[in-house]
Structure 1
């Protein structure tokens, strides 16, 4: 497998719209909830890699089956076939359920095999597999496109010289969170495999018991500011993505050490604690941060936890929000047990009686974030997501994960924790997005690298 990604080009590109198989009676629009508004306003590309027979017939069968099953799935997942439009109140956008369809791109890379591009041990991501440019989209500057209807979702299928193919499904985070995406992918693949699905999505925004107006006063007329300027005052850093494989033996040892101190930690507690301590221990990098303060934001899912019990895994929308770990000196988190204990406590302190104030704190945080000179990282765990159960009738993917989104508009770094492929010796994978200079500093830290294969 190549360690350096080759120069790639697409050929035989075909773009079509996949519409719901049949028209149904459904709401004409969905307004975002407070959780849709406080989430990362970005497209999140997920890639699935499949081994196929190296024939044109096999690839055409694969494409046709994906399209037909998507048509069937969109009957119940109709919002994904709509468009986000701009409004002039605090909701900023409204999802119009127009049944216009999902852009579906079919393309080929004829000069390289899939293994030349996707190294399962060091996946660097490949923007060309997502389809942004083919749809005249700039993934790093979409905030300026509020006047333009935005897609909730688009798909690209790419065939390689060897016959194998990638499926890249890109869904806007404003439309739903990771749990919503995974239930959709399960519904789509079940429909392809069995002709039906047991997943019945729930779009009832009234289930979210707090309203936007509880937090953001609704204006009576046109906004006095341009929503397209939101976030522009933040310092921006060009990020690069690194793929790291987490060692199970190290995590097990940390959990055992904590248990000896009567501290019960999950694997994700330990992984988050390690990221926190490692980032906090770096020397200043003037072009990115000058303060030792470290700001770690963890994503917390409210389904079946602090939200109404009706907001379960079938709820399609955002039921998660970011919650920050305390900003404390490195001396107060001298080891994984102490840092992990704070991570565990911080996550579990969000309850049905506190989460409204937690959301309010998050909104306040956004107003002061632009002046923060410390280190930043968003940590989102997809560790339990069934990436490797997404079978459309051609077998499970041999690799699946985040297709390195290059969120250069985002001044925070990010770490997506994904599951390993079946049979892998490692526990999890890090898709870690940071400025190149920060990556280099972490790579030189033996304590940080000790967690990875």
Structure 2
């Protein structure tokens, strides 16, 4: 397995869309941490393994970038803007001499997801770094993995999903005018004018530090979720389970429960999350984003995340559920697995729909030494849920 993994060979080249001038960031982008967001989509056997197959993907990406032109530019740190200079996104074709099915059944495959996304983008962006990198990896059986990674300074899961789906539609169409896409607008700085805010602190990790951490995938099928005693939306329920498990880890490490730590059951935590979401929707629906009150409300909610005390054992859960990654179709079928790239934040989790759509796959990032404690805490949580 490992020998095959290191047999990957890359061939890179640039793709460039039409130009524009500069694109500014809004204050929501200012607060975004200096990390990259990415996803890898795995497709079963593609019968078209010719050079034209790769060339078509590259050409359709080029056409798509004409609509997402800031992603082909470069970040200028001094002015905190995107120079839409047509320097292009990175497009890479890689090959691996293993079969896709062998990789999918490999129990620790989640640890290798990032190998399907190039590391060309620096966490601390240099002006020469691309903002978007695409890697198409072909397996010896004909399977395909398409990894897309971009800087979080201007891209989130919603942008990523929209980009990939439009790219896939463009790749399928026979004529340029077959599909008319809604016009993409890059007006974050107009909706949420910049305020000179500092990004959320996520210290970069070198390889030595990263080796102290790992990623664990938890799978919750629709039947498992429906049989749990606690009820609520699947995102709130799984978030509460992960939250409670990390509480158990903290208690095991410190041999006591901190005063600030809640002692609610999973049912109570789920209700707490539901109430919080409901209150946010109610409060935000009362104001307009283009007034000072609305913009202050948004910025304060984000600043609350930045201002969490370092001594606090915070758990960050991000949901990518309902984003249509499993609807992507380049012309050789829809993905059989979609997995997010690693964002190295301790005690964090990313939630995605499973391939059936009603289950959840949770990708938890934690220290290697804490895995036995987390698994034990998770086991205890589940004993209270049936």
Q: Give TM-score, length-normalised by structure 2.
A: 0.83
Change (3 A) 1:17 1:273: same
Aligned counterpart in structure 2 of residue 86 of structure 1, from 57, 77, 81: 77
**Mapping for residues 32-431 of structure 1, pairs under 5 Å:** 32-53=25-46, 58-87=49-78, 93-110=80-97, 112-119=98-105, 123-126=109-112, 127-132=114-119, 135=120, 142-143=123-124, 146-194=125-173, 195=175, 196-208=179-191, 210-213=192-195, 216=197, 232=203, 238-254=212-228, 258=231, 265-284=232-251, 292=257, 328-331=260-263, 333-334=264-265, 336-350=266-280, 351-352=283-284, 353=287, 356-357=296-297, 359-360=299-300, 362-363=302-303, 365-367=305-307, 369=309, 371-372=310-311, 374-403=312-341, 405=342, 407-408=343-344, 410=345, 412-422=346-356, 427-431=359-363
Q: Which residue in 2 is equivalent to 1:320? A: none
CA deviation string 1:88-139 (max 9, x = no partner):
6xxxx311111111111112112x212233338764142322111xx3x56x
**Which ranges in structure 1 are unaligned for 5 or more consecutive residues?**
217-226, 259-264, 294-326
Q: Which residue in 2 is equivalent to 1:447? A: 380
Deviation at 1:6, TM superposition (A): 5.6
Contact 1:6 1:116 in 2 (8 A): no
Q: What CA RMSD, in Å, does the superposition of the two structures yield over aligned residues?
A: 3.3
Contact 1:6 1:117 in 2 (8 A): no
Q: Specify which structure has the higher proportion of helix.
A: 2
Change (3 A) 1:355 1:33: closer
Change (3 A) 1:275 1:12: closer
Contact 1:121 1:243 in 2 (8 A): no
Q: Which residue in 1 is equivalent to 2:290? A: none
Contact 1:191 1:197 in 2 (8 A): no
**Which ranges in structure 2 are unaligned for 5 or more consecutive residues?**
288-293
* CA distance in 2 between partners of 1:129 and 1:186 (Å): 19
* CA distance in 2 between partners of 1:420 and 1:364 (Å): 31
* CA distance in 2 between partners of 1:361 and 1:31 (Å): 22
* CA distance in 2 between partners of 1:53 and 1:18 (Å): 23
Q: Which residue in 2 is equivalent to 1:8? A: 5
Q: Which residue in 2 is equivalent to 1:17? A: 14
CA deviation string 1:14-56 (max 9, x = no partner):
1100112xx36x3x111111111222321122111122346xx
Change (3 A) 1:349 1:53: closer
* CA distance in 1 between partners of 2:204 and 2:94 (Å): 38
Change (3 A) 1:391 1:125: farther
* CA distance in 2 between partners of 1:72 and 1:413 (Å): 39
Contact 2:32 2:199 in 1 (8 A): no
Change (3 A) 1:250 1:356: farther
Q: Helix, strand or coil: the match of 1:437?
A: helix
Deviation at 1:229, TM superposition (A): 12
Deviation at 1:284, TM superposition (A): 4.3
Q: Helix, strand or coil: the match of 2:153?
A: coil
Deviation at 1:170, TM superposition (A): 0.6
* CA distance in 2 between partners of 1:245 and 1:401 (Å): 12
CA deviation string 1:286-336 (max 9, x = no partner):
5xx78845xxxxxxxxxxxxxxxxxxxxxxxxxxxxxxxxx95332x12x2
* CA distance in 2 between partners of 1:120 and 1:451 (Å): 30
Deviation at 1:203, TM superposition (A): 1.0
Change (3 A) 1:84 1:284: same
Q: Helix, strand or coil: the match of 1:392?
A: coil
* CA distance in 1 between partners of 2:149 and 2:375 (Å): 30
Q: Helix, strand or coil: the match of 1:393?
A: coil
Contact 1:118 1:125 in 2 (8 A): no
Deviation at 1:360, TM superposition (A): 2.5
